[in-house]
Structure 1
Amino acid sequence: MSRASPDRSALRRELIAARRAFAATLAFQTAQAALDGPLRDLLDQLEPELLGVYWPMAGEFTPGALPFPRALPFARRDPADMVYRRWDGAEPTVQDDCGIATSSGAVAVPDVVLVPCVGFTREGFRLGYGGGYFDRWLAAHPGVTAIGLAWSAAETQFPVEAHDRALTLILTERELIALD
């Protein structure tokens, strides 16, 4: 479903509410399984040396255990910044400044990152939670392969701003959108 809205905050709220409603349905588990296989196949092709993953929020795709060394993002609010920290796969016991579970491992730079999308465009831009953390990180690491993970219903349109960074690929439960 495609939506047009110049107000990114309102669009974000609408998409998060729709995602939470979707997460409460049986279709959510079907979509989770439909995205999981293609993601694993894609990562097998890319063979990341260090995979940047994320700790899923309500309704986001949950990548689960993957057979690659992994790192989790750690966001700071002041100054607004994000780094990745190596992660051993154990349940995180620390949170970043945004209250998201993370790792206390060493700071590292992944060569492939999975990026959660609240919304996305066919042109490869993502709507996140509004903090700009992933955009700043991607701007500082232009050679990294960034894979947006989204539900197909989150496809939308929104005004692209100067700080927005396009992803390399977007993967949904229905398709892989290559953007290079």
Structure 2
Amino acid sequence: MTGVISIKRELRRTMRAARLAHWQALPNSHRALIFGRPPRIILPLIDAAETVGLYHAVPGEVPTANYAAHMLDMGKMIALPWTASPEGPMTFRLWTGSEQTLEKGPWGPQPHRAMPEVAPDALFMPLIAFDAALNRLGQGGGHYDGWCAKHPAARRIGLGWTVQQVDAVPCEDHDMPLDAVITEQQVLLPVNKRAIS
């Protein structure tokens, strides 16, 4: 298992650099247009969800502001990750969609601690890398892994750039595959493991 951890560490280093370089090369106007709303083929994964989990993107990550606005327009409640310390554990708290209702957290902006804790029914997750089998490589802290293990029924949808796809993500026993991955060019689903553009 130590070998897998070492491979993951090196893959994270390489893919973080690739992700950031890709993001930096995008014109600001282009960044604002992509990922405007979830592709129609994804809607069955979120239609029944009352609460949808998103994340507050950091440089390099797929932006989620447009998704947040769209979810609110759909009548969904939205939630963002919340942690009291870098070690976790991670929970989710409701978010109104306003920057004024965020506070500084260990990993960046997060909902104010007074906001109610909730368990999203569907979850859009950031990632470092992914493969065609919908395996996800995260930041390495285990925050999403821990939350998903406690809420296995929640739909797990990864958001990433096409450059983040690799041949195979090294997996450990606790790793859970995603239900879908959305990039700026395609949607990957587990039904047939085929990219849908």
- With the length of structure 2 as denominator, give the TM-score of the two structures: 0.78
The answer to which structure, 1 or 2, has the higher relative contact order (CA under 8 A, 6+ apart) is: 1
Matched, 1:146 2:143: no
Cα deviation, 1:104-149, whole Å, max 9, x if unaligned, reads: 2110011111001110111111111100111111111011111100
The residue that corresponds to 1:90 in the other structure is 98
Q: CA deviation at 1:177?
A: 1.1
| Percent identical | 28
Q: CA deviation at 1:33?
A: 3.5
State how 1:1-180 maps to structure 2 within 5 Å.
Answer: 7-26=7-26, 30=30, 33-37=33-37, 39=38, 41-42=40-41, 44-45=43-44, 46-47=46-47, 48-64=49-65, 65-66=69-70, 67=72, 68-77=76-85, 80-91=88-99, 92-96=101-105, 98-104=106-112, 105-156=115-166, 157-179=168-190
How far apart are the structure 2 equivalents of 1:44 and 1:124? 18
Q: Which runs of 5+ in 2 are unaligned?
A: 192-197
- What is the aligned-residue RMSD (CA, Å)? 2.4
CA contact (8 A) 2:132 2:188 kept: yes
Secondary structure in structure 2 of the residue aligned to 1:80: coil
Cα deviation, 1:144-174, whole Å, max 9, x if unaligned, reads: 1111001111011232011211111111112
CA contact (8 A) 2:159 2:181 kept: yes
Deviates more, 1:114-123 or 1:43-52: 43-52
Cα deviation, 1:27-74, whole Å, max 9, x if unaligned, reads: 68647644434x153565432311100010111111212223100101
In structure 2, relative to structure 1, the CA distance for the partners of 1:15 and 1:138 (3 Å cut) is: same
Amino acid at match of 2:55: Y
Cα deviation, 1:69-114, whole Å, max 9, x if unaligned, reads: 1001013447631110000111153233x33211021100111110
Name the count of aligned residue pairs: 174
CA contact (8 A) 1:32 1:173 kept: no
How far apart are the structure 2 equivalents of 1:78 and 1:149? 22
CA contact (8 A) 1:6 1:159 kept: no
Amino acid at match of 1:53: L
How far apart are the structure 1 equivalents of 2:54 and 2:125? 7
Q: Which runs of 5+ in 1 are unaligned?
A: none
